[in-house]
Amino acid sequence: MTEASLKSRKNRWEILMMVSLAAGILWTLISRVPSAVSAPLSSSPSPREGFLAPDFTLDTLDGNKVTLSELRGQIVVINFWATWCPPCRLETPALEKSYEQYKDSGVVLLGVNLTDQDSVSEVESFVQEFKLTYPILLDRDGSVSALYQLRGLPTTYFVNRAGIIRTVLVGGPMSETFIRSKIEALLKEVQ
């Protein structure tokens, strides 16, 4: 090999290394997860275990209003659902049975319907079909599901008497045993 061909080979290798390095840096910048420091001030983390459940006020199917913060002192199960959601349909009987068992023990179950993706008449039919007795709240504009940054349906939050989220379950269907175990754990918490 001549000195010129060695120099040419070395130059190509250096160029290849520089292009690879630049591509790696570019990939790192493009694919990185934004840090909390650089996140806009208006964004808030999704509600999670160990933190206060975000407050909301919604109309109920029967024309009343429910404000979450006014339920402090009680255990609250917040179940986000829709009539078209198969796992929601499957877990509804277990939710109703659990509510009937624990409602006199200071447990409130709130069925938050994503009414922006449903209709009130479908919700009414669903409530009649399953003979639901727990409060059904109507998230007509999707603001509460946005506040809770839902990632799937059903999504259920188990909230203690102080308003702190203890369990979040995305997906379903939940069994009656699972629901009762979470409620029992909350009932045993020291106030």
pLDDT in tens, 143-178: 999 999 998 999 999 999 999 999 999 998 999 999
Residue 117 included in any domain: yes
Q: What is residue 178's predicted lDDT score, i.e. its pLDDT?
A: 97
What is the average pLDDT score of the chain?
87
Both 7 and 63 in one domain: the answer is no
Residue 42 included in any domain: no
- For 18, the domain range is 1-32
Give yes or no for a contact between 115 and 140, defined as CB atoms under 8 angstroms apart. Answer: yes
Residue 178 included in any domain: yes
Which of 26-30, 88-92, 124-128, 146-150 has the least mean pLDDT? Answer: 26-30
Q: What is residue 39's predicted lDDT score, i.e. its pLDDT?
A: 38
State what percent of residues in the chain have pLDDT above 70: 83
Residue 123 included in any domain: yes
Active site residue 185: no
Record the pTM.
0.77
Both 82 and 150 in one domain: the answer is yes
Average pLDDT over residues 99-126: 96
At 35-58, the pLDDT tens digits run 333 334 334 567 899 999 999 999
Average pLDDT over residues 66-77: 98
Active site residue 85: yes
Q: What is residue 185's predicted lDDT score, i.e. its pLDDT?
A: 97
Number of domains in the chain: 2
Residue 5 has pLDDT above 80, yes or no: no
Give yes or no for a contact between 77 and 108, defined as CB atoms under 8 angstroms apart. Answer: yes
Residue 37 included in any domain: no
Both 86 and 156 in one domain: the answer is yes
The single residue of 85, 94, 114, 165 carrying the catalytic annotation is: 85
At 137, the pLDDT band (50, 70, 90 cuts) reads very high
Nearest-angstrom CA–CA distance, 89 and 143? 23
Q: Token pair for residue 25?
A: 């840096």
Locate all alpha helices (DSSP H) within the chain, ordered by sequence.
3-31, 86-102, 120-130, 143-147, 176-188
Residues with Cβ < 8 Å from 122, sequence gap 6 or more? Answer: 83, 84
Residue 34 has pLDDT above 50, yes or no: no
The single residue of 58, 66, 76, 88 carrying the catalytic annotation is: 88
